Amino acid sequence: MNSDQIIKKFEKLFKKKPLLIRSPGRINLIGEHTDYNDGFVFPAAINKEIHFAVAENNVDMFRFYALDLQESFELKIEDLARTETSWANYLLGVAAQFKKAGYELTGIDCVFGGDIPLGAGLSSSAAIENGFAFALKEFLNAPVTKIQMIKMAQKAEHEYAGVMCGIMDQFASMTGKKDHAIKLDCRSLDYEYANIDLKDYGILLCNTNVKHELASSAYNTRRQECETGVKILQKYDKKITALRDVSLQLLEQHHDEFDPTVYKRCEFVVKENWRVEEAFSALAKNDIKALGALMFKSHEGLRDDYDVSCKELDLLFDMAKKSEDVVGARMMGGGFGGCTINIVKKEKMSSFSEEIIKEYSKFTGMEPEIYTVNITDGTGLI
């Protein structure tokens, strides 16, 4: 992402020099639908970013400009509330969290834009929230920690954007570390970094360019199915509060008490948590093939047991799995569209991309978008 356009637009609109902040999107290597089950995830910040040019003003207003949309927005600080302008709510929601925490808000001018593809599941919303939280921390001289800003950003999304997201996206974007993935415990927010040395391999994302309507309703249903499984097993162990606390052995012991669908959902989550732990160990040993094998298994579980894939994701997965140049691939995100993440031989990335585009277009009539990404640092000053 190049900041020059952002700076130029800011100086044209506001006639002053801005502070510059960058805030990245994220991938998740493995650990899908485990976050709301108090489990483990394994994300990393990537070099698809939102950049901000920000400065204080003395007019007690928020004055925002979204460069990618070429839209401006203004609001008096005293009128701070959710608005009809959906993109502005991501920023305003963060300001509201600082206000709730007892900080006296100041007028802010802000121009932002970036190269995180919208709708690809790379968390552009978390990047926007984190970037603006970092800006407010700077201008308000607020002694807030990264964890506090992450929680503020998540609450902003809940209360102003109306999306009841987990904490992984904001966490990965804020705490990212170059060439490292983050094993995050979604219950305690304890985390460990794992060095990613993919050697002769790189990370390639393939965007289906579809988002099926099922996504939000299915998400709620999956949450309910997981909660149903927890209630059954709590009869045998009062310490269980989420699927995170359930062993495969206990689940198998009580197989006959479960509706078959609920059992499949719970089994997937229990196994997926185990796969995150194994992926962390694989990276510690620089065993890229072991990591890749776990990714293949993750997709198969998401497709067959959790039932959140779709024909477009499965097509991309099948092509990747058949390729000798790919050691691991899976769908990434909530499901029913978005991206697959693939670990591909660097020297074969171009030919693999061409093959994917050709085959996917032939079967779907659509062209997928392909992104090569690198692992980068989290939100901070430029």
132 and 62 part of one domain: yes
Contacts (Cβ under 8 Å, ≥6 apart) of 94: 129, 132, 133, 136, 152, 153, 156
Q: Is residue 381 part of a domain?
A: no
Instruction: Give the count of alpha carbons within 13 A of 349, CB side only.
Output: 18
Q: Is residue 10 part of a domain?
A: yes
Q: Is residue 241 part of a domain?
A: yes
Mean pLDDT, range 114-142, rounded to an integer: 93
Query: What DSSP designation does 311 have?
Result: H
Rg (CA), the chain: 21
115 and 177 part of one domain: yes
232 and 130 part of one domain: no
Helices vs strands, H then E, count in the chain: 11, 13
Q: What is the pLDDT of residue 267?
A: 98
78 and 135 part of one domain: yes
354 and 228 part of one domain: yes
Query: Three-class SS of residue 349?
Result: helix
Q: What is the pLDDT of residue 260?
A: 98
Mean pLDDT, range 36-56, rounded to an integer: 97
Res. 183: pLDDT tops 70: yes
213 and 350 part of one domain: yes
254 and 152 part of one domain: no
Which tens digit of pLDDT belongs to each residue from 203-229? 999 999 998 776 678 888 999 999 999
Mean pLDDT, range 120-145, rounded to an integer: 95
Q: What is the pLDDT of residue 167?
A: 92
Q: Is residue 380 part of a domain?
A: no
Boundary of a domain, candidates 165, 197, 229 = 197
Query: Is residue 185 flagged as an active site residue?
Result: no
Q: What is the pLDDT of residue 212?
A: 76
Mean pLDDT, range 250-271, rounded to an integer: 98
Q: What is the pLDDT of residue 298?
A: 98
Res. 21: pLDDT tops 90: yes
Boundary of a domain, candidates 197, 216, 240 = 197
Q: What is the pLDDT of residue 165?
A: 81
Out of 35, 38, 169, 307, pick the active-site residue. Answer: 169
Residues 31/273, Cβ–Cβ less than 8 Å: yes
Q: Is residue 325 part of a domain?
A: yes
Give the Å distances, CA to CA, from 13 to 8, 16, 113, 246. Answer: 9, 9, 15, 55
Mean pLDDT, range 166-178, rounded to an integer: 96
124 and 13 part of one domain: yes
Q: Is residue 163 part of a domain?
A: yes
175 and 314 part of one domain: no
Instruction: Name the percent of the chain lying above pLDDT 70.
Output: 99
Res. 2: pLDDT tops 80: no
pTM, two decimal places: 0.94
140 and 242 part of one domain: no
Q: What is the pLDDT of residue 322?
A: 97
Give the Å distances, CA to CA, from 349 to 78, 206, 326, 371, 374. Answer: 52, 12, 9, 10, 14
What is the average pLDDT score of the chain?
96
Print the SS3 string covering 184-236: EECCCCCEEEEECCCCCEEEEEEEEEEECCHHHHHHHHHHHHHHHHHHHHHCC
Q: Is residue 78 part of a domain?
A: yes
Q: Which residue range(s) make up the domain with 114?
A: 4-197
pLDDT band at 166 (very low <50, low <70, confident <90, very high): confident
Q: What is the pLDDT of residue 215?
A: 67
Q: What is the pLDDT of residue 1?
A: 66
Rounded Cα gap, residues 290 and 37, in angstroms: 25
181 and 206 part of one domain: no
Q: Is residue 382 part of a domain?
A: no
Mean pLDDT, range 118-132, rounded to an integer: 91
Mean pLDDT, range 99-122, rounded to an integer: 93
Query: What DSSP designation does 103 have?
Result: P
Residues 119/338, Cβ–Cβ less than 8 Å: yes
Boundary of a domain, candidates 128, 163, 197 = 197
Residue 301: give its domain's CATH number.
3.30.70.890
